[in-house]
Structure 1
Amino acid sequence: MQAPARPLNCPAGLEYLMQIDQVLVHQEVSIVEALTDFQSKNRYEIKNRLGQKVFLAVEDSECCSRNCWDALRPFTMRILDHMGQEVITMERPLKCTCCCSPCCLQKIQIQAPRGVPIGYVAQIWHPFLPKFKIQNEKKEDVLKICGPFFVCNCGGDVDFHIKSLDEASVIGRISKQWSGCMKEMLTDADSYEIHFPLDLDVKLKAVLLGACLLVDFMFFENCAGLEPIIGVW
């Protein structure tokens, strides 16, 4: 598919995001990780509502940090287009977490192109609920994400609602999809739907993609689905 002309204020490679209001994120199954306890690099296919692949997300991290820090590990996530060119870069630093302290909260920086920040996802401390703020390139709060009290998809989807700053209105959601008992038990390869307004700033759409991947690592990276809840909240 030929890419349309790039509008103003749209980073190169993100033109397609301007035309859609939904993306599907599917983590690729790692056979080695499913059969052993060895943590491999995560890979995600990012598709449109028709199931056509739009981007590929590839994790760049060290073997030691993956197996020592597991879901808390720092990483660089590279989002590649169909030509294999890096169009979005996501940087997650190492942050220890504790439900009793607001000092070490999770965050991720989104860049497009690499080295040029376009937004941030920062965890908001809350004793019971998973909450995040979406920030623009100037670190100004723009949106919030609010998750459920019990983050476990035992038999159903888990919705993280994208809300206005005052939390008065819901403008979209990030949904962790239920994959079936066998797949949920044997692997942590997850699937998500991200819904956002069609006219939302394309940079914020990219930031919400980063929010989805951060949610995956924080709450669903481990097969049982309970360890991240205890560790983060």
Structure 2
Amino acid sequence: MADKQWQPVQMQPRQGVDWMTTPQNVTGIPQGLEYLSALDQIIIKQRIELLEVITGFETKNKYDVLNSVGQQCYFAQEESECCNRICCGPNREYVIHISDNMGQEVMRVRHDFVCCVGCCWCATDSSCGYEVQIEAPVGNIIGYAKQQTSKWKPHFRIFDANRQPLYVIRGPCCSCQSICCTDDISFPVTDLTEQTELGRIFKRWAGCGREFFTDADTFGITFPVDMAVTSKALLFGAVFLVDFLYFEEEDNNNN
């Protein structure tokens, strides 16, 4: 990864939001990830940006992260340069800052610009694959999510901090949704044998107006409640890899 230094951010929590209560007496996990210890599902809703709707220019993405009953547990905000967003699209250099309900940054998902990546035929563990680095807390790398070689279907692997593979994520041949096809687009998460499904990443149909005129998508992740918190965090970070690689580009082209 490039050695550009991104500064920690502190975001102001929104007023009038139903916040999830922080679990108590949770030890042995990265500070700030206590919420994940009690969850078996999170929903990630990208906010609609009015400027983007009106002009069609890509703005910095912002996300609300909710539990299964709609309580907010995190929010996330992209940091990137304007020219990169306009010229490089989903391949741009960016960092996603993830903050808790107190506004403190607890996790970071980072993608560095690399020319000529993203082709599913060429992606390997060592080169060409689209990759994000995941930190929790900031500065402490807990692992990576990386695109893998495939003939057609989306294919990713989750790696730990030492780049040892942990999980496999595969997607469908067609990642399109429309008024005639509103089912979730599912990306099952399996063990390395691909025989045992452990959870899934999915994209929900958000409705005609939201889907056709914005790129404000809604994603979800399911996983066992007793899965290691760092593994949950890695899958959380992998959502942004899936979003930028398969849905940012598609929606930007529509715009």
- With structure 2 as the length reference, what TM-score do the two structures score? 0.84
Q: Identical aligned pairs, as a percentage?
A: 38
- In the alignment, structure 2 segments of 5+ residues that lack a partner are 1-20
In the TM superposition, residue 225 of structure 1 has moved relative to its aligned partner by: 7.6
Q: Do 1:162 and 1:170's aligned partners in 2 also have CA atoms closer than 8 Å?
A: yes
1:193 has 2:220 as partner: yes
Q: Cα RMSD between the aligned structures?
A: 1.6
Aligned partners of 2:246, 2:85: CA distance in 1, in Å? 16
Q: Do 1:56 and 1:81's aligned partners in 2 also have CA atoms closer than 8 Å?
A: yes
What CA deviation, in whole Å up to 9, does each residue of 1:49-80 have, x standing for no partner?
Answer: 11011000010111111111112111111000
What CA deviation, in whole Å up to 9, does each residue of 1:166-209 have, x standing for no partner?
Answer: 10111111110011222211111000111001111100101101
What CA deviation, in whole Å up to 9, does each residue of 1:119-171 have, x standing for no partner?
Answer: 11011111211010011122110111010011112322100000110101111
1:59 has 2:83 as partner: no
Aligned residue pair count = 226
Q: Do 2:120 and 2:148's aligned partners in 1 also have CA atoms closer than 8 Å?
A: no
Evaluate the alpha carbon distance shift between residue 225 and residue 162 of structure 1 in structure 2; reply closer, same or farther with a 3 A threshold.
farther
Aligned partners of 1:106, 1:48: CA distance in 2, in Å? 28
Evaluate the alpha carbon distance shift between residue 50 and residue 193 of structure 1 in structure 2; reply closer, same or farther with a 3 A threshold.
same
**SS at 1:204 equivalent:** helix
What amino acid is the match of 1:216?
D
Evaluate the alpha carbon distance shift between residue 226 and residue 61 of structure 1 in structure 2; reply closer, same or farther with a 3 A threshold.
closer
Aligned counterpart in structure 2 of residue 16 of structure 1, from 23, 32, 35: 35
- In the alignment, which residue of structure 2 is the partner of 1:101? 122
- In the alignment, structure 1 segments of 5+ residues that lack a partner are 228-233
Q: Do 2:41 and 2:222's aligned partners in 1 also have CA atoms closer than 8 Å?
A: yes
Aligned partners of 2:225, 2:165: CA distance in 1, in Å? 20
Q: Do 1:186 and 1:223's aligned partners in 2 also have CA atoms closer than 8 Å?
A: no
- In the alignment, which residue of structure 2 is the partner of 1:35? 54
Q: Do 2:111 and 2:132's aligned partners in 1 also have CA atoms closer than 8 Å?
A: yes
Aligned partners of 2:162, 2:251: CA distance in 1, in Å? 38
- With structure 1 as the length reference, what TM-score do the two structures score? 0.92
What amino acid is the match of 1:164?
D
Evaluate the alpha carbon distance shift between residue 46 and residue 127 of structure 1 in structure 2; reply closer, same or farther with a 3 A threshold.
same
